[in-house]
Chain A
Amino acid sequence: MQNEVDSKAVEAIMQSRAEGPQPAGVLVGKVNEVVKPKRVIRRIVDYLIGEPLTYLVNWGRLYSLWPTHVETACCSVEIGASAGPKWDIERFGVLEAFGSLRQCDLMIVMGTVTRKLAPRLKLIWDQMPDPKFCIAMGACAISGGLYEQSYNVIQGVNKIIPVDVYIPGCPPPVHAVIDGIVKLQEKIRCMDLKGRVVSESYLRLSPKWRLR
C-alpha cells in the first residue's frame, strides 16, 4: 500500500507545473474583491500627493545631513580629512561642524564609548529631533575593537542607540567614510514621511557601489 501514489497529488503537481511559477500573493489582485470607494480615493491621493511629497521630503533630508560629532578617538582625524578641499563631503550636504545639537540629523560616533560616556551619548541622541540617523565609524564604535576585553568600554554603540550604517576600519580611510555616507543616503531614499524604511531595495546595492 505504501508504494501507491496519490493520484490527486500528482494531478495537482502536473497542473502547477503547466501553469508555471506564480508571482507573490501581494501583487495578485483578488477577482471577487469588492471595490470600496474610500480605498480608491486613498490610492488616488497617494499617487497624486503622497508620493511626490515623500520624494520631495526625502530629497531634502538626503542633502542636508548635519552631523553631531562624538569625537573620542582617532577617527575624527579622517572626518577632518574628508571635510577638506580634496575630498569635499560638503558635496553630499554633510557639514564639517555645526553648533547646535537640536538642528542636527546625523550622529557620527567615532571612537571608543566608555561606560562614563554612554549616558551622555544617550542624552545627545535624545536631544536630536526626528528623523535622525546614526553612523558607527571604526572598530571601536562597532564592537569595542582593540578594547574588546576591557571592563570599561561598551562593546558596540548599537547596544545603546540604533545604528543605520556601520563603517569598518581602524580608522576607516576617507574613501570608506564617503562610501558610508552615500549608502546612508540610499537608505533614506527608501523611507516614508515618518522616517520608517518602506521598501528594502536599498539592501541590494548596485555593483558599482559594492566594489573597492
Chain B
Amino acid sequence: MVKPIAILNAVKSGLRHLFFSRVTRRYPEVESGLPETYYSFDPKKGVATAGWKGRHYLELDKCTGCQLCSYMCDEISNAIIMVEVPELKFEQNKKSLFPSIDYGRCVFCGLCVDTCPFEALHMTPEVRLADYDRNKLYYSPLELSIPPSVGKPSYLVGKRREAAKS
C-alpha cells in the first residue's frame, strides 16, 4: 500500500534537483575529464609515473633504433614493428630504424615506455583514435613524432606538487 504523501516526496526531490549544478559533461564540444599529465619515464627515479595513456609520442632525435620496445611488445600484443625509414637521418640512428605502432593491437600497457633507455617514447593524452579504416590504425614513425597538443610529462607535474607542499 503506497501512501499518497510518498508521491509528494518524489515531486519534492525533483524540484530540489532543478537547482543543482549540471552533472552531464558537454564532452565532444568541450574538452573535459582528462588529466593534464601523460605517462612518461622518470630518469632520476628509474620508474615511470602514472598518467594518461593514449597515442604514443616518439622523439625522433633520441631514438637509436635499439628495438627494445618491439622485443618487449612481442610478448604482450605484438603491436610494435620496427620500420626502416631511409629519409630520416640522425646521428644516433645510423640504420634509421624506428618503431611503428598498430593501434588495433596495442593494449596501452606502457611497457614500451618503461623499457626505452633513452626516454624517447612517451604516451600522450590523445585518445581519439577511432577510424573508419583498419589500415589507418597503423601509425608510422612520422605520425608518432607529432608532439601532443596538451599536457606535460607526469614526473614534471609531480615535482611541482612536491615543491608546492614543502
Contacts and interface: CB of A to CB of B under 8 A. Distances in A.
Q: How large is the interface on A (under 10, 10 to 19, 20 to 34, 35 or more residues)?
A: 35 or more
Contacts of A17: none
Interface string B46-86: 00000000100000000000000000000011100000000
**Which of B78, B108, B130 has most chain A Cβ within 10 Å?**
B130
Nearest to B103: A168
Contact of B31 (A88, A146, A167, A212): A212
A161 interface: no
B132 A172 contact: no
A210 B128 contact: yes
A167 B77 CA distance: 17
Interface stretch (B8-16, B22-30, B90-98, B111-119): B22-30
A126 interface: no
Contacts of B34: 175, 212
Contacts, number: 106
Nearest to A180: B130
Given A164-B132, A168-B137, A182 B28 contact: yes
A165 B131 contact: yes
A1 interface: no
B18 interface: no
A88 B106 contact: no
Q: How large is the interface on B (under 10, 10 to 19, 20 to 34, 35 or more residues)?
A: 20 to 34
A139 B127 contact: no
Contacts of A175: 27, 33-34, 127-128
A144 B133 CA distance: 17
28 contacts: A87-B24, A87-B33, A142-B105, A142-B134, A143-B104, A145-B105, A148-B78, A164-B132, A165-B130, A166-B104, A166-B137, A168-B106, A168-B137, A172-B127, A175-B33, A175-B34, A175-B127, A176-B128, A176-B129, A178-B28, A180-B130, A182-B28, A202-B132, A210-B128, A211-B126, A211-B149, A212-B127, A212-B128
Given A139-B77, A143-B102, A179-B128, 12 more contacts: A85-B24, A87-B25, A146-B76, A146-B107, A166-B137, A169-B108, A172-B130, A176-B130, A209-B128, A211-B126, A212-B54, A212-B125
